[in-house]
Amino acid sequence: MSGHNFTELMDQAQEEQERSNRAALERIQSKAAPETHPDFDGKHCVECPTIIPIARRNLGKVRCVHCQTALEKRTTRR
């Protein structure tokens, strides 16, 4: 019977899928994890006087889009 092998194959594929899903999820979560900053007052960007939009603050961001982009450019450069 090939049915059994097929099931095993599906299990393996699913396991593989779950492993990579988890890895991707962990990557996303570490990137999306709420940030904290000693200078963050809950409203303003920690690097400039820009008020961070509430939607962005809800994501746990402590920087405005501009400073976040600049930071990512700094940290991703090799």
- Rule CB under 5 A: which residues touch Zn ion? 45, 47-48, 50, 64, 67
CB of 74 to Zn ion, least distance (A): 13
Cα atoms found within 13 Å of the Cα of residue 27, Cβ hemisphere only:
6
Minimum Å gap between C-beta 77 and Zn ion is 19
CB of 34 or CB of 53, closer to Zn ion:
53
Of 5 and 36, the one with the shorter C-beta distance to Zn ion is: 36
Q: What are phi and psi of 62, to 5 degrees?
A: -115, 5
Nearest residue (CB) to Zn ion, 45 versus 61: 45
